Amino acid sequence: MNNAPGQITLEEWDERYEQLRRAGLREPGYGGPLGRHVGDGDRRLLKLRYDNSVASLRLWNFLLTEEDRLHNARAEGKRIVGTMKDLGTVPVMAYSLDNVVAFYPDGAWWIPCVMELSAGLLETADSLGIDESFCPVRAMLGAFVTGAHFPIPDQLVCSVGATCDDFSAIAQRLNGLGYPILWWEIPHRRFPEVDEAAVRLPGGFCAPKRQVEFVKSELERVRTALERLAGQRLDDKKLSAGIQKANEVRRYLAELRQVTFTAKVCPLPALEMLIAEMLAIHFCSDRDETISVLKELIDEVKTRVQAGRGVLGDDTARIFWVNPVADLQVMNLLEDCGGRICGTEYLFSHALDTIPEELPPAEALARMALADPMVGSSVDRAERICADIRRFGSEAVLISRIPGASHCALEGEVIGEVVRSRLEVPVLEIEVPPVTDSIRPTLGTRLEALIETVKERRKK
Amino acid sequence: MKTIIYTCPYVPAEWIAAHGLRPSRIMPGAAGSTSSVGRTEGVCPYVRRFVNEVIMNTQASGVVVTTVCDQMRRAFDIIMRRCELPAFLMNVPSTWQSVAAHKLYLDELRRLGEFLVRLGGKSPSSRALAKVMLEYDTARTSVLATRGYLTSSQYSELIAEFNRDGKSGITTTINEKKPFTGGIPLAIIGGPLLREDFGIFDVVENSGGRIVLDAAETGERGMCAHFDRRRLRDEPLIELSNAYFGSIPDAFRRPNNQLYNWLKRELACREVRGIIFWRYIWCDIWHAELHRLKQWANLPVLDVDVSGDEQALTVRTTQRIHAFLEVLQ
């Protein structure tokens, strides 16, 4: 069996799985050959290329069995919270309770990609007046109506205010269809006025103290709702313990990102890194297992780095990627074109920063919520991107627009200007729909142009 | 007198005027040949035009932008980078049912006051604020009293004029006039109109209809509630906050049932028989309400999606309105 790091197809993975199994592979209960997920309708999996490590096998199986975990949780009598939009805050609270599981229905935005539009979710959204002029997250509406992709949560919690209009509008539509939602306000993060008390947020942003206090009061409303749902107190002790656990996940992710993005040879492909980062926002419905999955990935990556081995060549262009892609295959495409990911801002950097443990927990969470790159100005976000570019040594920035998303209309211009002026690195914007097959040549051409530019600049 | 421009109905003109500055709620017009916003795809035409209007404005001393929609919130970044005009971004909460949300709005008014002082304004006493509020309230009442006595176009232009120029110049009297009757009563519901869009009222009237409810953001829906005289005297700033934040119904609010409650009342009392739904392409907030409104209203709804690229109403829109009214005859 060839154990050199590399990328393989789903078919190759299933052959490899058999070899591993015969060689004594030990897996968690959700393990198994990846190919079985195609039977669930996840047809896009057939077109992706995967990292060939056992750690990545576990990562993929963990991701693709989340729906089962949610159904099991319900069968065990646990309460399910659908947290929407905040990307990383409310789940920390929910998982501090031992009988509550939280997940993001927003994640349904990948279903049209993974099922190659066969699930009919976008058509359902169309029929409800939410057409293709909205972000692909409209698939969430279809998932609620069909009830076929996740159990309907016992409680929905959604942040609004400084959020994208698409999601706010779609959530309101959902509310209008009879799904009650607890709305909580996240204000636009602003600079403190002169002489106004200010606090430093995780990740380095600054905010007025009174904004932190406001968000804290909003999160207290959420806490009360969660307590009512769980039938138990969510006191500061439990919340602090929940924060510590969340930080464990975040520290592992920070290490994984640091080692992977700065390695001379890319030790883990872009796609697996994207999925690993996604674990931070709600732990894929199992916090402890998330930690185990990440530990195994880090071990694999470290082993590869120490051996000087990786999945791509050593002259790949180091790309900083902004915004998640609606079509996962585009991460493969970047690598096909000669690039690798060295830095990301997938809309939820605040879910990767550690939460202050020395503060009262509600205040710590409020600070974290306000550190969301999307609730402040695009200039702030660009500054953070610049800081990470310096940290990871990225050579170019790729801004991946999400079709129809309200924030994508104007932010790219600002981010591009700031990055170019601060660091003089090339910036390119692309737009990625849920299935890119028809525009793959165009996308490829644009990515190749960026990568060629990077390589030309190295010669100077 | 220094002029402060804005376009959002949640910015109280009275607060700016009480600081000794001239509030002007502008209606953006034609974009001109160049755009200050690099991209056009995905950008709400109204936001694009607002940014252009602000950047090209040479008369204003400051601009107030609010967070009621994501694109406008982000347009603030563009304005800050493209022009020297002092700019203020006001947080207007989407939620409205909690005391904390009202308090946040009130805090933002106070912060706006500090911005106005920095521009040369003077922080008003409660008494001075109450006086300005009373003047505006009287003027607003007189504007609203003309409904039915003016053509729908004149009425909506009068509201726009009031928004742009405040209390000055409102001299319309209705004593000698007879109320307008006839025409199929329609409502226009949706986001704000551009300057060129007032032609829609005449198109409707020429097609046999009459707009009896201007529920566009620039119409009656975007006007604050009448001030309570006792509270105005006792706590004018809180009354101002209540009349604006507590009363103006809009699609962006969460939940937005306040909008539907308001529409239910107004559609019924004006015996509306059809709705023109006015929305800009890429405006998610209003677009998402279209389907719900159709189901909820039990009235015919004509969806007018506006690209904002035209100088005025398109032939297509005109013909659709004409056909809509023909169906309603």
Give the model's pLDDT for residue B33. 46
Question: Is A153 a domain residue?
Answer: yes
Average pLDDT for chain A: 96
Mean pLDDT of A373-394: 97
Among A169, A221, A414, the residue with its CB nearest the CB of B288 is A169
Interface touch A160/B75, C-beta < 8 Å: no
Q: Whole-angstrom Cα distance, residue A320 to residue A388? A: 9
Question: Is A195 a domain residue?
Answer: yes
**Among A143-147, B109-113, B150-154, B178-182, the least confident range:** B178-182
The distance of A106 to chain B (nearest Cα, Å) reads 17
Give the model's pLDDT for residue B310. 63
Question: Is A75 a domain residue?
Answer: yes
Interface touch A188/B69, C-beta < 8 Å: no
Q: Which residue of B has its CA nearest to A133?
A: B282
Q: Which residue of B has its CA nearest to A194?
A: B114
Interface touch A377/B114, C-beta < 8 Å: no
The number of distinct structural domains making up chain A is 1
Residues β-bridged to residue B216: B190
Interface touch B104/A185, C-beta < 8 Å: yes
Question: Is A129 a domain residue?
Answer: yes
Interface touch B74/A187, C-beta < 8 Å: no
Mean pLDDT of B19-43: 79
pLDDT at A251 > cutoff 70: yes
Interface touch A413/B78, C-beta < 8 Å: yes
Among A134, A188, A410, the residue with its CB nearest the CB of B284 is A134
Mean pLDDT of B291-296: 96
Average pLDDT for chain B: 92
Per-residue pLDDT band at B173 (split at 50, 70, 90)? low
Per-residue pLDDT band at A279 (split at 50, 70, 90)? very high
Eight-state DSSP code of residue B65: E
- Tally of CB atoms within 10 A around A421: 10
Question: Is A31 a domain residue?
Answer: no
Question: Is A322 a domain residue?
Answer: no
Among B75, B76, B284, the residue with its CB nearest the CB of A165 is B284
pLDDT tens sequence across A39-82: 989 999 999 999 999 999 999 999 999 999 999 999 999 999 99
Give the model's pLDDT for residue B40. 72
Mean pLDDT of B252-278: 97
pLDDT tens sequence across A301-332: 999 999 999 999 999 999 999 999 999 999 99
Contact of B253 with B62, CB cutoff 8 Å: no
Which domains does chain B carry?
Answer: 3-118 (3.40.50.11890), 133-328 (3.40.50.11900)
Q: What is the domain range of residue A78?
A: 68-237
Give percent of chain B with pLDDT exceeding 70.
93
ipTM of the modeled complex: 0.94
Question: Is A107 a domain residue?
Answer: yes
Give the model's pLDDT for residue A429. 96
Interface touch B100/A217, C-beta < 8 Å: yes
Q: Residue A379: its chain B contacts at CB < 8 A?
A: 77, 80-81
Best of A190, A406, A420, A428 to disrupt the B interface by mutation (most B CBs within 10 Å)?
A: A406
CATH number at residue A190: 3.40.50.11890
Contact of A219 with A93, CB cutoff 8 Å: yes
The distance of A134 to chain B (nearest Cα, Å) reads 7
pLDDT at B76 > cutoff 60: yes
**How is the beta sheet containing B301-306 ordered, strand by strand?**
B209-216, B184-190, B274-280, B301-306
pLDDT tens sequence across B57-68: 999 999 999 999
Q: What are phi and psi of A345, to 5 degrees?
A: -140, 90
Interface touch B42/A401, C-beta < 8 Å: yes
Among B69, B73, B291, the residue with its CB nearest the CB of A129 is B291
Closest C-alpha to A88, from A294, A317, A253, A234: A253
Among A162, A176, A217, the residue with its CB nearest the CB of B73 is A162
The distance of A372 to chain B (nearest Cα, Å) reads 15
Q: Whole-angstrom Cα distance, residue A302 to residue B289? A: 51
Interface touch A188/B67, C-beta < 8 Å: yes
The distance of B146 to chain A (nearest Cα, Å) reads 35
Contact of A290 with A279, CB cutoff 8 Å: yes
Q: Which residue of A has its CA nearest to B303?
A: A129
**How is the beta sheet containing B87-90 ordered, strand by strand?**
B22-25, B3-6, B62-66, B87-90
Per-residue pLDDT band at A30 (split at 50, 70, 90)? very high
pLDDT tens sequence across B134-171: 999 999 999 999 999 999 999 999 999 999 988 655 55
Contact of B88 with A191, CB cutoff 8 Å: no
**Among A111-120, A199-208, A238-247, B294-303, the least confident range:** A111-120
Give the model's pLDDT for residue B297. 95
Question: Is A124 a domain residue?
Answer: yes
